[in-house]
C-alpha cells in the first residue's frame, strides 16, 4: 500500500510528491561537484555530450545514434530524449551526457573515492524497448 499522496513508478519505486530538497551540506563530506541545471543550456565545463562516434566504430549497428544537439536545459531540468528521428544513418537518435570525455584530453573528469556520497534525482521513463539508465 502506498503512502497517501505518493505515486508508484514501476513495481517498487515510490516518489514523494513534494520532492523535498536535501540539506546543502552533509556533516563529514566535502562538496566536489554540484549541478542544478539552473541555466538555459548544458554547462560544458561539467558535462560532455556524446556524439555518434564516442563509443567507437560500428556502434550504429544498434540502429541508434547519439545526437548531442537534442539535449536541452530549462527550469532546473536537463532533458535527454530518445526519439525516432533519423540521424547519421540510424533510424533513432538519443542524447547522452557524461562527466568525462573519451575524446577531449582537456576535459576535467570528476572522480569519487572510497566513502564518497553521491546523490541524484533522475526521472527515467518506463516503456517497453527503452534503454534508459544512470551510471555512477
| pLDDT at residue 122, as a whole number | 81
pLDDT of residue 11: 46
pLDDT by 10s per residue, the chain, length 136: 555 554 544 444 445 555 556 656 777 777 777 888 889 999 988 888 888 877 665 554 678 888 999 999 998 889 988 888 888 888 888 888 888 766 677 777 766 666 777 777 888 777 776 667 777 6
Query: 65 with 89: CB under 8 angstroms?
Result: yes
Residue with cell 569519487: 112
Q: Which residue do the cell numbers 534508459 mark?
A: 132
**C-beta of residue 63 within 8 angstroms of C-beta of residue 91:** yes
Q: What are 13's three cell numbers?
A: 519505486
* Spans of all domains in the chain: 38-100
DSSP β-bridge partners for residue 78: 73
Amino acid at each position: 500500500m502506498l503512502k497517501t499522496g505518493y505515486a508508484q513508478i514501476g513495481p517498487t519505486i515510490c516518489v514523494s510528491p513534494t520532492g523535498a530538497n536535501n540539506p546543502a551540506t552533509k556533516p563529514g563530506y566535502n562538496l566536489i561537484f554540484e549541478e542544478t541545471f539552473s541555466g538555459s543550456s548544458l554547462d560544458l565545463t561539467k558535462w560532455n555530450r556524446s556524439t555518434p562516434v564516442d563509443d567507437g566504430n560500428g556502434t550504429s549497428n544498434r540502429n541508434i545514434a547519439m545526437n548531442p544537439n537534442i539535449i536541452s536545459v530549462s527550469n532546473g531540468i536537463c532533458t535527454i530524449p530518445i526519439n525516432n528521428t533519423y540521424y547519421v544513418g540510424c533510424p533513432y537518435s538519443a542524447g547522452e551526457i557524461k562527466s568525462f570525455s573519451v575524446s577531449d584530453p582537456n576535459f576535467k573528469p570528476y572522480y569519487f573515492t572510497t566513502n564518497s556520497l553521491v546523490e541524484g534525482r533522475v526521472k527515467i521513463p518506463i516503456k517497453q524497448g527503452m534503454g534508459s539508465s544512470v551510471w555512477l
